[in-house]
Amino acid sequence: MDGLSIVIGIGLSAACGFRVFVPLLIMSLAALNGHLSLAPAFEWIGSPEACTVFAVATVCEVLAYYIPWLDNLLDSLSSPAAVVAGTITTASVLTDVSPFLQWSLAVIAGGGAAGIVQAGTVLVRGASSISTAGLANPVVATVEVAAATTTSILSLIAPIVAVATVTVLVIFAIRRWNQRRPVIIGENRQIPM
């Protein structure tokens, strides 16, 4: 196992936080074309059948996020799915490693990266729904699809850049969130941060 495989896995897992199936489709296409090596137990991801299933699932997922009431429901359902997809994504690219290390890294790094990014998208969509009555949600959906696609492709061609970009975005989002959140002191006093 090389460190680059871990970085590729984390980048693809982070992309799962934006959209669950986009990274899996891109992984499948890359494996089918010989641009991505998969762990032996995950070679099925690079099969034509899996690629077809991921393509159909991606189209359905992307279109569903443009339906106003369905997008918020999907956010709540896709949070655990994103963590599972992130875990599988990382595990699938970790070759020549013991199963214990493979799954430990997959759950902690892959599932964690997907979960953090997914939590951010849930917060953004929630804020968009509240502040614009959902009118801006199609814009949010478009940005999320673009982010999932870009992060997935970048993870395969420049994995360190992909992970660095996602890390910077997460840090920016956390700082932004902390600036808007009031700090409660005592029972009734709030001090904005």
Q: What is the pLDDT of residue 166?
A: 82
Spatial distance between the Cα atoms of 128 and 19, rounded to a whole number of angstroms = 17
Please classify residue 102 by burial: count the beta carbons closer than 10 Å to its beta carbon, then call 0-12 exposed, 13-18 middle and 19+ buried: buried
- 35 pLDDT band (50/70/90 cuts)? very high
Q: What is the mean predicted confidence (pLDDT) over 46-55?
A: 97
Spatial distance between the Cα atoms of 45 and 62, rounded to a whole number of angstroms = 20
Q: What is the pLDDT of residue 180?
A: 65
Residue 137: its H or E element = helix 137-157
Spatial distance between the Cα atoms of 136 and 99, rounded to a whole number of angstroms = 44
When comparing pLDDT for 1 and 48, which is higher?
A: 48
Please classify residue 82 by burial: count the beta carbons closer than 10 Å to its beta carbon, then call 0-12 exposed, 13-18 middle and 19+ buried: buried
3-class secondary structure, 135? coil
Full-model pTM? 0.85
| 193 C-beta neighbours (distance < 10 Å), count | 10
